[in-house]
Amino acid sequence: MPVVPVTALAHFAGLTMPDYATPGAAGLDLQAACAQPIILQPGMRTLVPTGLAIAVPPGFEAQIRPRSGLALKHGITCLNSPGTIDSDYRGEVQVILANLGSEPFTIERGMRIAQLVLAAYARVEWQRVEALDGTARGAGGFGSTGVG
């Protein structure tokens, strides 16, 4: 299990460290570390602080993802999703929330606003070629395999 160093910034005071909601959960719940409630109007977006800075291990990224309950019940989602926190970033983890719903949504301090998933990745080296190898699918995309 990778170990991720974390620093709690001053405005994190009184909040709890991100945790897994269930034993089988892939994502850690992130909380809003806002000083005052944030009212997110329909069609608007905002940057929400978490009060945490992390040191993602080399070979991993931290992905910021929406919470399904907020998305379904209120139309609240994360823009740039999944957002990537690279292993060399040391600033505060912040979440871009957008209100795709029809009603204003209030973000309160301590509210679980997003999930953080640690994921391994592979770096690549490009090999320029004149043509790619053929497959049965070929260049078909955007619905080319049918519906359902």
Per-residue pLDDT tens digits for 34-70? 999 999 999 999 999 999 999 999 999 999 999 999 9
The candidate with the shortest Cα–Cα distance to 53, out of 83, 86, 27, 78, is 86
Query: Does residue 126 lie in a domain region?
Result: no
Query: Does residue 144 lie in a domain region?
Result: no
pLDDT digits (tens, 9 = 90+) for 84-107: 999 999 999 999 999 999 999 999
Give CA–CA dist 15/17, Å, rounded: 7
Q: 105 burial class (0-12, 13-18, 19+ CB within 10 angstroms)?
A: buried
Residue 71 maps to which CATH number? 2.70.40.10
Answer whether residue 23 shows pLDDT above 70: yes
Domain span holding position 18:
6-120
Provide the number of structural domains found in the chain: 1
